[in-house]
């Protein structure tokens, strides 16, 4: 872990003031160009895509189905990843590994509608904390999300493969929870966790909306790597 982590936010803003950085767009550009670069969402996109390649069923899909699947589920799993990490850190808002909290910047520069800001940076964590998701449950939920088949453009064969795998991992999750909590309580928590699939698809869409709004406010594209532009379009 770099010695300067977690970053002192007061010192960070002081540095911004000294550099006469006064817009959200300039802040993002500054963060991406300081040494070391810190484009956490791009890093997380790569991690999620590489993790997909390790799943036993992934190689059963043809190349077009792989691309179609990853275009839809990568953002969802990144939002889940960042939310779970933040919940594990007992944070009430999204927090990055270097200690920076995105909501600090959107609020300072007043770039976002408050409801969107809360949903993207806070509610996603509240949902996990309310349910009390542990690491094993998180990993199984993430894998179930990789098996999401209700995606336009997937072949019928891909849907069949994904549905079969989803049932397998969902049953594993149910059995694990019932072993930990008992038959009834385990089934109750299982229902709550499975409902998070659609919940996090919603949060992923809200993240896409925020990306678009920031670009419109600044009347320019964010200085983002191509992978971010492709997956958040």
Tokens representing 68? 């179609």
pLDDT band at 26 (very low <50, low <70, confident <90, very high): confident
Under DSSP, the state recorded for 149 is -
Tokens representing 37? 């670069």
In terms of Cα–Cα distance, which of 150, 31, 142 is closest to 83?
142
Buried (b) or exposed (e) across 194-213, using 16+ Cβ within 10 A?
A: eebbebbbebbebbebbbee
Decide if pLDDT at 229 tops 70.
Answer: yes
In terms of Cα–Cα distance, which of 82, 72, 70, 75 is closest to 124?
82
Tokens representing 122? 């806070």
Decide: 102 and 7 in contact? Cβ < 8 Å.
no
What angle, rounded to 10 degrees, do the helices at 196-218 and 124-131 form?
160
Dump pLDDT digits (tens) for 115-153.
999 999 999 999 999 999 999 999 999 999 999 999 999
Tally of CA atoms within 13 A in the half-sphere of 56 that contains its CB? 5
**What whole-number distance in Å separates Cα of residue 205 and Cα of residue 195?**
16
pLDDT band at 21 (very low <50, low <70, confident <90, very high): confident
- Domains (range + CATH), the chain: 9-231 (1.10.565.10)
Q: Which residues are CB-contacts of 42 (< 8 A; sequence separation ≥ 6)?
A: 224, 225, 227, 228
**What whole-number distance in Å separates Cα of residue 47 and Cα of residue 85?**
14
Average the pLDDT over each of 67-76, 102-111, 128-137, 189-198 and give the range with the smallest value. Answer: 102-111
Decide if pLDDT at 201 tops 80.
Answer: yes
Query: CA quadruple 125, 213, 104, 71: dihedral positive or negative?
Result: positive
In terms of Cα–Cα distance, which of 90, 100, 94 is closest to 122?
94
Q: Which residues are CB-contacts of 17 (< 8 A; sequence separation ≥ 6)?
A: none
pTM for this entry: 0.89
Please write down the HEC assignment for all residues of 129-140. Answer: HHHCCCHHHHHH
In terms of Cα–Cα distance, which of 189, 232, 222 is closest to 27?
222
């Amino acid at each position: 872990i770099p010695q300067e982590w977690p970053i002192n936010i007061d010192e960070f803003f002081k540095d911004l003031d000294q550099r006469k950085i006064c817009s959200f767009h300039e802040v993002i550009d500054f963060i991406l160009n300081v040494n070391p670069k810190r484009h956490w969402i791009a890093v997380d996109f790569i991690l999620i895509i590489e993790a997909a390649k390790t799943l036993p069923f992934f190689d059963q899909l043809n190349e077009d189905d792989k691309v179609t699947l990853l275009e839809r589920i990568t953002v969802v799993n990144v939002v889940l990843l960042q939310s779970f990490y933040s919940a594990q850190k007992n944070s009430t808002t999204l927090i990055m590994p270097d200690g920076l909290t995105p909501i600090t910047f959107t609020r300072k520069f007043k770039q976002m509608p408050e409801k969107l800001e809360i949903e993207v940076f806070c509610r996603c964590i509240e949902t996990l904390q309310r349910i009390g998701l542990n690491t094993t449950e998180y990993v199984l939920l993430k894998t179930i999300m990789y098996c999401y088949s209700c995606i336009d453009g997937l072949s019928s064969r891909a849907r069949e493969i994904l549905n079969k795998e989803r049932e397998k991992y969902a049953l594993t999750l149910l059995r694990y929870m019932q072993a930990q909590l008992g038959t009834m309580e385990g089934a109750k928590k299982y229902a709550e966790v499975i409902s998070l699939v659609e919940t996090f698809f919603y949060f992923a869409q809200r993240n896409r909306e925020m990306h678009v709004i920031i670009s419109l406010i600044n009347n320019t594209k964010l200085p983002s790597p191509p992978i971010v532009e492709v997956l958040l379009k």
